[in-house]
């Protein structure tokens, strides 16, 4: 692999996760992003207490993301061989944490809106 292109990255992710799971995760991420933006635009602010609770929940979400990737791939922790592998592991944790923070914020926002009515 001489060049790192978008099509190469898509092929790698489809190979790792499988085509169905990968595209389902992409669609869920897009829907989650729009739901997060809708809640923030509706309230016109980020509610700090809700965001703090979401960040605490997000810590666990990062570790769940690492567990998820380890569970669906054939590699294990003993296969970590170098700095790039550790960077990928950190990026997986970060993506899981960010996704969990957004999901927790969305759910708390929806629950709070339903509670008010």
Residues across the chain:
117
pTM, entire model: 0.78
52's tokens? 């703090």
Domain ranges of the chain: 6-116
Helix (H) or strand (E) holding 73: none
List for the chain the helix, strand, coil content (%; round to 5): 85, 0, 15
CA distance linking residue 3 with residue 22, whole number of Å: 22
Across the chain, which has 117 residues, the per-10-residue mean pLDDT values are 78 84 91 90 87 94 92 77 82 93 91 67
Task: Say what the pLDDT of residue 116 is.
Answer: 64
CA distance linking residue 7 with residue 11, whole number of Å: 6
Answer whether 62's CB lies under 8 Å from 93's CB.
Answer: yes
Helix (H) or strand (E) holding 91: helix 83-116
Task: Say what the pLDDT of residue 87 is.
Answer: 85
């Amino acid at each position: 692999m001489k060049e790192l292109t978008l099509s190469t990255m898509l092929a790698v992710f489809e190979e790792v996760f499988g085509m169905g799971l990968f595209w389902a995760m992409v669609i869920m991420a897009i829907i989650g992003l729009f739901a997060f933006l809708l809640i923030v635009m509706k309230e016109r602010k980020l509610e700090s207490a809700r965001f703090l609770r979401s960040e605490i929940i997000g810590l666990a979400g990062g570790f769940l993301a690492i567990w998820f990737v380890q569970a669906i791939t054939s590699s294990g922790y003993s296969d970590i061989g170098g700095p790039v592998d550790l960077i990928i592991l950190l990026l997986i944790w970060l993506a899981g944490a960010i996704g969990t923070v957004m999901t927790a914020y969305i759910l708390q926002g929806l629950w709070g809106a339903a509670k008010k009515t």
